[in-house]
Amino acid sequence: MTTLLIGIFLLSLLVITAIAIVRSEDLFSAVMLSGIFSLLMALNFFLLDAADVALTEAAVGAGVATVLLLAGLKLTPPTEAKGRSVGKLSVVVIAATTLLMIYASFGQPTLGDPMAPTQQHVAPWYIEKTPELIGIPNIVTAVLSSFRGYDTLGEVFVVLTAGIGVMFLLGGGRGKPFSRLDSDVEEGLSGHLIPKVMARLLIPFILLFALFIQFHGEYSPGGGFQAGAIFVAGIILYSLVRGEGLALSVIPPRVLLWMSAGGALLFGSVGVIGMLMGGQFLEYSVLADNPVTGQHIGIIVIELGVGLTVTGVLLSIFHAFAARD
C-alpha cells in the first residue's frame, strides 16, 4: 500500500515535471527540469525493483545528460525562439499515441502478477539456470552480458556511433579546438571556495564508487554502462571546478578516442576469440576449461570494454561541446 502511494506520488510529479519542461521558455530551467525528470524516473524504476535500470537512469539521464545539455546551452540563446508554437500535427500524434497506449494498457496483465507471460516463459529459465551456467548472483548482469550479450555489444556501438557523430560534426577528437584551452587561465568555478572544497572532497569517492560499480557488477546492481557514466560525472565535476584544460591534460582527446574505440574492440574481440576457440560468436564458456570460469572471464572483460567506451565517448562529447565558444 505504501509502495502504491509512493508510486502514484512519483508518477504525478513526473507528469507535472514533463508539463513544466514543455511549457518552460527558459532553456536553462528546461534542462534542469529534465534532470529532475530523470531522477524521478530513476526512483520509479527503483520502486519497481529494477535497481540496475535505476542506477543507469540516475547516472546517465540525471547526471551526464544534464551536463551535456548545459554544455550545449553555451552555444545557443538562453530562451526558446519566439513565435514557433507547437504544431497541431504533433499534438494530434502525441494525443493519439497516448490514447492508444492507455487503451492497450487495459488488456495488460496486472503489475507483479506471477502468472503474467513475462514471468512464465524465459524469465524462470534465467532465474533457474544463471547460478548453474554463469555462477553469478546478479541475474540482470547475466542476461545483459551473456545471454543477450549481442544486444549489449550493439548498445556499445550505439554509444560509439554517438561519439563518432559528435566528434565528426563538431570537429573534436583531435586538432585545433582543444589547443585553445589554456590551463593557466582561471576557468570554471575555480574562484569559488565552497564548490572547490566540496568537489575536492567528493571527486575521489565518485571515482572510487565508479570502479566499485564496474568490478562489482556481477554481485550487485551495476556494470560498465553505469560505471562509465559515474566515472565521467567525476571527471566533469573536476573540469567544472578546475577548468577544461587541466582535465584534458589528465586525459587528452587522443586517449579518449583510443578508449572509445578500444573498449568496443575489446568487447568484440572477446566474441571473436570465442569463435577461434571453437565456440560461437560471444560464447564465453569456451574461454576456460571450466565453462563457468569462462563466463566469469568473459563478463569481466566485456564489462571493462563497455566501461572504457562509455567513459571515452561521454568525455569526448563533453569536451567537444565545452571546447566550442
CB of 280 to another protein, least distance (A): 5
**Smaller CB distance to another protein: residue 202 or 261?**
261
CA distance 51 to 49: 6
**Smaller CB distance to another protein: residue 36 or 164?**
164
**Smaller CB distance to another protein: residue 51 or 286?**
286
**Smaller CB distance to another protein: residue 18 or 202?**
18
CB of 309 to another protein, least distance (A): 9
DSSP 37-91: HHHHHHHHHHHTT-HHHHHHIIIIIIIIHHHHHHHHHTTS-SBPPTT-PPPHHHH
**Smaller CB distance to another protein: residue 237 or 299?**
299
CB of 194 to another protein, least distance (A): 40
CA distance 303 to 227: 9
CB of 275 to another protein, least distance (A): 6
CB of 276 to another protein, least distance (A): 10
Which residue ranges make up the site for another protein (CB under 8 A)?
93, 97, 100-101, 103-109, 116-123, 125-126, 129, 146-151, 153-155, 157-158, 160-162, 164-165, 167-169, 171, 173-175, 257-258, 260-262, 264-265, 268-269, 271-272, 274-275, 278-286
**Smaller CB distance to another protein: residue 22 or 272?**
272
CB of 149 to another protein, least distance (A): 6
CB of 174 to another protein, least distance (A): 7
**Smaller CB distance to another protein: residue 125 or 219?**
125
